[in-house]
Structure 1
Amino acid sequence: LNGRNQESSSEAIHAYEAIGLYGEVMVRAWGGGVSSDLSKNDNANRASRVRDMGRLLTATEIRSAERYWHVLHGDLASNTIYPKVYRPSAVGMMWNTMC
């Protein structure tokens, strides 16, 4: 209901990557946008937007997973959102406390 009940970033990453791959395959299927048929070029252009959106969503999900689910210590600790007293190397379910 509030968008915070996420358990599996890997599922999201794979879903978004599939969108990007689908877009790439469709770009190629429509001739890569270099066809003499304008309708094929339009379809290739639309498919490239699907591909690019899949790539963007994949990158965003990977960055978010690294930021919120992977607890960094040592030299990389300045990138963490967790206080220094937090020692576990992974975060479990966060949604039950509405974090």
Structure 2
Amino acid sequence: MPKLDQKLIKKKLIELTRTKRELESEKNKNIEILKNSVKPKLDSDLLKKSEAAKEYNISEKTIDRMRSKPKGLKYAQKSPKATVWIVRKDLEDYLKKDRHDR
């Protein structure tokens, strides 16, 4: 009987260790999410086109259309295949202006 108890205890300890590892992993992921969400959003932040689309819940194609309009969204791009950079303030101003112009 004591040998059976030892096996059961060993099995439970292994299970607890596994659970503890999973919880630690989950805790670290949550801490990273919190760090990213608490980061202050400054007017001077530079955003990639994909980041801007995700953060403002608009498609990248919409951003391209906003850029192509006369007096459209200001952006920076070194070459046609380079990353498109947008200043947060410029995007917010454009979105506000566009909403009120309609």
Which structure has the larger Rg over C-alpha atoms?
A: 2
TM-score (norm 2): 0.35
Higher-strand-fraction structure? 2
Q: Which has the bigger relative contact order, CA under 8 A and spacing at least 6?
A: 1
TM norm structure 1: 0.36
